[in-house]
Amino acid sequence: MPRRDWRLRVADMLDAAETAMSLTNGLEKAEFLADRTLVDASIKNLSVLGEAAAQIPDEIAQQWRDVPWRMMRDMRNLIIHEYFGVNPDIVWGTINDDLPVVVPELRRMLEGEEPAPD
């Protein structure tokens, strides 16, 4: 099977991040934590985000150092392999604190902008 272009993977990442953010938009943390469907859907999108991040070639990832590639891959691995240990509070924090920082970088990548200088 041919390998997908890294830009398609970044588009997958952006879609998953934006979807996860939209799921929590306007909610209080307690509302989110009380809704198992929202938590599960958010976890699924974080796993897609991390899986797509793992497929980005190293030479591209090294250019975009402001993107937390390792953290995204590690989150995916935790979700997939330690699913019983996923803390919904951390999912909430990831979506509301981390993704809003990552999304603009992913957009810049897709728009063909240059990475931030070191």
pLDDT band (50, 70, 90) for residue 4: confident
With 70 as the cut, is the pLDDT of residue 1 above it? Answer: no
How much is the average pLDDT of 69-80? Answer: 94
* pLDDT tens profile 14-24: 999 999 999 99
For the chain, the structural domain boundaries read 6-110
pLDDT of 47 reads: 97
The two tokens of residue 18 are: 């934006």
Q: Are 32 and 92 in contact (CB under 8 A)?
A: yes
Structure-derived torsion over alpha carbons of residues 76, 18, 21, 43, reported in degrees to the nearest 10: -20
Q: Which of 116, 113, 111 is nearest to 14 (CA)?
A: 111
DSSP secondary structure string, 30-74? HHHHH-HHHHHHHHHHHHHHHHHHHTS-HHHHHH-TTS-HHHHHH
Q: What confidence tier does 2 reach under pLDDT thresholds 50, 70, 90? A: low
Mean pLDDT of 92-113: 95
Share of the chain above pLDDT 90, in %: 86
- In tens, the pLDDT along 27-63 reads 999 999 999 999 999 999 999 999 999 999 999 999 9
CA–CA gap between residue 75 and residue 30 (Å, rounded): 22
